[in-house]
Structure 1
Amino acid sequence: MDKNKLRWASRGNPGTSGVGVVVRNDKGSIIFKGARRLQDGTNNEAEAWAALLATELALNMKVQQLHLEGDSQVVINAITKGNTPSWKLSRWVAIIREKLNLFEEFRVSHIRGGANAVADLLSNIGCDMTSQMAKWWKGDGVWKWS
């Protein structure tokens, strides 16, 4: 099963936000990664955006079986159980859940922050960007700008 790992960073809460996304194949090798600057917001908003971007990326890559991992228990519970602490998250979580149903098979689980070090680094790169431009590159380090 392909894994789509995600991680957020938010400097201050609310504060500068960025997301990092890492896609791994079933052997654990990184096949795609990216960073994006977001508008200022809370940590939970950034994590929900990361989950949405990761899910859309997996759909665009034609992934059939998805294991979505994140280190925000709040957002993971919102996606898996429908428990949303705010109306903003409710909108995004509804879209994420709708998109997850497009996969042949999916799983959503919580991981500890240390297990998501690459995505954490990427999310901080996203925070440092000057605009909402995204940087994406393949596992071999080749850049693709969008």
Structure 2
Amino acid sequence: MGFGWGNPGISRVGVVVRNDKGVIIFKGARRLQDGTNNDAEAQVALMATELAINMKVSKLHLESNSQMIINAIAKANTPSWKLSHWVEIIREKLNSFEEFQGSHVRGGANAVADLLSNIGCDMTCQLAK
């Protein structure tokens, strides 16, 4: 997952779904309403979770460049009141999976999602398989 520019500012997100072998099976991007980086990270985590449910994924490994969002989802910290709504929805949806793991990634490890967030399509779109 990646997000756009400014804080607060333009929010654009990118999502990459890989199979258990690391092969990209879906890439998409969307422009959100303007907001903070944390707003965008929470929304893209929800989008990725919903996408995985729709793709009938049984084991989800969610990677984000936001350690705060990963910790909030894992209940390692309490998110701000502004993010609590998003985090609670994500936690509910995680019941759909046999297994869940969340990881914080840095720098180049999130390069494809970051590139997609910079493109920031006006709607979710499948860019490649």
Pairwise TM-score range, normalised by the shorter structure: over 0.9
- Is 2:92 aligned against 1:98? yes
- How far, CA to CA, are the matches of 2:94 and 2:127 in structure 1? 24
* 1:80 and 2:77 aligned: no
Instruction: Output aligned runs, 1:43-58, within 5 Å.
Output: 43-58=37-52
Alpha-carbon displacement from aligned partner over 1:65-112 (angstroms, at most 9, x marks no partner): 111111101111111125244212100000001101110111111111
- 2 CA distance for matches of 1:85 and 1:95? 13
Q: CA deviation at 1:7?
A: 1.7
Q: What secondary structure is seen at the aligned counterpart in 2 of 1:76?
A: helix
- Residue 7 (structure 1) aligns with: 2
Counterparts of 2:81 and 2:66, CA distance in 1: 17
- What is the letter of the counterpart of residue 51 of structure 2? L
Show the counterpart of 1:136. Answer: 126
TM-score normalised by L of structure 1: 0.83
> Residue in 2 aligned with 1:31?
25
Q: Return 5+ residue gaps in structure 2 as ranges.
A: none
2:10 to 16, 30, 44: 16
Provide the rounded CA distance (Å) in 2 between the counterparts of 1:103 and 1:137: 26
Shift of 1:57: 0.2
Higher percent of residues as strand: 1
Please name the residue that 1:114 is paired with. 108
* Equivalent residues, number: 129
Identity of aligned residues (%): 73
Distance (whole Å) between structure 2 residues aligned to residue 134 and residue 67 of structure 1: 21
* Aligned partner letter, 1:134: T
C-alpha RMSD of the superposition: 1.3
TM-score, normalised relative to structure 2? 0.94
**Alignment partners' CA distance in 2, 1:23 and 1:87:** 29
Aligned pairs for 1:52-67 within 5 A: 52-67=46-61
| Structure 1 residue identity aligned to 2:126 | W
Alignment-mate amino acid for residue 97 of structure 1 = R
